[in-house]
Structure 1
């Protein structure tokens, strides 16, 4: 007996196949859109809390007082595993301390000035980095989307042998989707180096976590820190016995004396107020693409060495360069503006690519108005929902449920567009009108 699926089964399978492709396209579009907006991450933080104290630099003793004040405020709470001090930099001239339970701004004297309020910026970061999915699942999916973007770029080049010759040819008045395809192809060519860089670094960043988990499980007895240690340096063995406030000022004074030309961005305290605590300073060498070098100190502020991100193995330096290359955190505002424009072009490319694909299916006789409606909902619903979350931030403050607002509005936009498309298609079918795309 020969099993042959019915025509209805084949049609449903093709629709499901197309819907899966549409989902992948929608996620890629969201990553491109959120990444374009996220280029101005520091600027968004400043806009969210305009009254936070700002300064071009902060004294080492002021940082010490701030660290002591924050640690004192956490007495009686579960001990924080890490304490981060963000030092003023040109893009974000603020001193901020973050622990496992709180984040506060410091004034120039090291006093606690106010809680940090940048939940919208963090919401945006989460959308781009993990699509608001849990931990390693979300970042892995985003990494896979980076691989998809790379594959689409390469196959697009191979599929259009004249793509560079026609780099400035636009047939905007032609029908049949030709004009849309020309814009898609031209923008793809103009942004090709940027798109490849973003795709490769995004895939590397996104898939690093799942790769590290696999290596830890297979070779390191589930010790994730041991996987990262050869690249970023390891942590000392914990000792939970009580300890004093670490000498952060001493470590900062060492950096000022021995590395006055290197901009310090972060001070990290590992296991603060314990006998096993130690200090780590992140500083960015000038004219380098790496996000920074790690300088290790003990709790008394004595220098122990560097991780080698600036002058170690080439793999270390490449790993440390991924972040700035992907997010545009180098070169100041001009580079950010360029990243924003190129990111906008990539967003348009991802949007038009699906429209072209649906148009080709339509011309082959496979017209799916609901899928087209769903794509309309994604393309116009996502930026609209993002704008509403920003309005909610300034209307209702830091506690507004940005994630729920965004995804709720996006789902409503998609469902509404599908319903409208379905009704329009039914009306056209009832009068024998030709469907359009």
Structure 2
């Protein structure tokens, strides 16, 4: 049965369909490429601010001095609802104290040394997490693409029943269409467990806003905090009355005595300088995938218990393991190197998949030179744009317009690819016109 559309309508519909498919492939490629780069998130921070003070450990008394020093320079106390102390770790051996309005590096004595300036690292993280879009839209979109990778991986296996048998077979080593197909299939097989783990966890993280919002609306009357409480614990009641700054020293001392095998790496002060303030310490459990366990303390260091991320329900432990499994934040540098290698391979799979589709069109007598030029420009443009923004960070500083530079450079590389196509066409048409004359 024919719908009876005019030929011009059909042509425009096919063009729109191709453009939409290309946009989806481009975003998928961008997510994979930036995800590979963000594996070195801590290393990028150290590279950005190489003169920040570093240490392997910091004493509880110095942590408390740092908290009090940072709070003393807060411009608007009413806006400071949370304070975070990043303790030194192997990946990032610095102590950084962050509030809702500012962030500072402190030395081993708790003295403020300099503001934290890692805008490029944060730009890169936001680009991967949410494509520089508002969080609810960007993370939902990225999560949907994570689910897309799962579907592509499974459908690719079904469509190629010999894919595992030919896992190490390369029919052609030269740069041609056959070699592209072979490398695409081989890399897809070699990275399959990684791709499934990364895409599933990425979908869970990215779709958090949607799934959490749905649960909050349907089961908790729109209360998002209540919806998350069974997993991440409940917020303590607020009391806005003024009070001295909570003391983190006895809380850290208790951690060292009661949980010597746990490595505290975050101290969170909720509602500082109020009667309702309380302390949470995030502790890393060695040889566990969970990002940590929350240890709750009162303002004077009295222990209130744990949330259960380390020994609670399976759902809690699974939720707490998602982040590290996705970003490779376990096992140290060897795991990071493996994630980078597999991430580059997955990025190549996405890039070659589109080239394979374009080659197939050309063999069928339906070449798409403009689409190929756009795709070639985009594939080469993403790393060029990332390097451009990093150079801007080094030359201009923390205030460089990273978002505008990235997308502007990317648009420029695509435009250059289209201009080269036009130039090549004009050069080819010149001899043809001369022969016709």
Note whether the superposition's TM-score is higher than 0.5: yes
Q: In the aligned structure 2, how far is the partner of 1:431 from the partner of 1:144?
A: 49
Residues 30 and 256 of structure 1, relative CA distance in 2, 3 Å threshold: same
Report what 1:20 is aligned to: 20
Residues 173 and 288 of structure 1, relative CA distance in 2, 3 Å threshold: closer
Report what 1:332 is aligned to: 332
Deviations 1:224-268 (A, max 9, x none): 111111001110122212121011111111101111121111011
Residues 392 and 279 of structure 1, relative CA distance in 2, 3 Å threshold: same
Cα RMSD over matched residues? 1.7
Q: How does 1:227-238 map to 2 (within 5 A)?
A: 227-238=227-238
Runs (4+) of structure 1 moved beyond 6 Å?
A: 429-433
Report what 2:181 is aligned to: 181
Report what 2:390 is aligned to: 390
SS at the partner of 2:207? helix
1:49 and 1:117 in contact (8 A); partners too:
yes
1:280 and 1:295 in contact (8 A); partners too:
yes
C-alpha displacement at 1:337, in angstroms? Answer: 0.4
Length-normalised TM-score, structure 1: 0.95
Q: In the aligned structure 1, how far is the partner of 2:175 from the partner of 2:4?
A: 39
Q: How does 1:40-55 map to 2 (within 5 A)?
A: 40-55=40-55
2:170 and 2:182 in contact (8 A); partners too:
yes
Residues 382 and 174 of structure 1, relative CA distance in 2, 3 Å threshold: closer
C-alpha displacement at 1:423, in angstroms? Answer: 5.0
Gaps of 5+ in 1: none
Residues 430 and 19 of structure 1, relative CA distance in 2, 3 Å threshold: farther
Q: In the aligned structure 2, how far is the partner of 1:198 from the partner of 1:432?
A: 51
Residues 432 and 12 of structure 1, relative CA distance in 2, 3 Å threshold: farther
2:87 and 2:94 in contact (8 A); partners too:
yes
Q: In the aligned structure 2, how far is the partner of 1:150 from the partner of 1:258?
A: 42
Report what 1:104 is aligned to: 104
Deviations 1:60-85 (A, max 9, x none): 01000100111111154443111100
Alignment pair present for 1:368 and 2:363? no
Deviations 1:30-61 (A, max 9, x none): 11111111111111111111111111100001
C-alpha displacement at 1:175, in angstroms? Answer: 8.2
Report what 2:255 is aligned to: 255
Report what 2:243 is aligned to: 243
Q: How does 1:174-323 map to 2 (within 5 A)?
A: 177-323=177-323
Q: In the aligned structure 1, how far is the partner of 2:287 from the partner of 2:175?
A: 49
Length-normalised TM-score, structure 2: 0.95
Residues 196 and 429 of structure 1, relative CA distance in 2, 3 Å threshold: farther
Q: In the aligned structure 1, how far is the partner of 2:337 from the partner of 2:384?
A: 22
1:369 and 1:422 in contact (8 A); partners too:
no
1:369 and 1:425 in contact (8 A); partners too:
no
Report what 1:153 is aligned to: 153
- Residues paired across the two proteins, number: 432
1:370 and 1:419 in contact (8 A); partners too:
no
Q: In the aligned structure 1, how far is the partner of 2:394 from the partner of 2:204?
A: 35
2:79 and 2:101 in contact (8 A); partners too:
no
Deviations 1:377-412 (A, max 9, x none): 110011001011111111111111111110111112
Residues 102 and 177 of structure 1, relative CA distance in 2, 3 Å threshold: same
Alignment pair present for 1:404 and 2:411? no
Report what 1:359 is aligned to: 359
C-alpha displacement at 1:331, in angstroms? Answer: 0.4
Structure 1, 329-338 or 360-369: larger mean CA deviation: 360-369
Q: In the aligned structure 1, how far is the partner of 2:175 from the partner of 2:73?
A: 67
Q: In the aligned structure 1, how far is the partner of 2:417 from the partner of 2:81?
A: 47
1:177 and 1:359 in contact (8 A); partners too:
yes
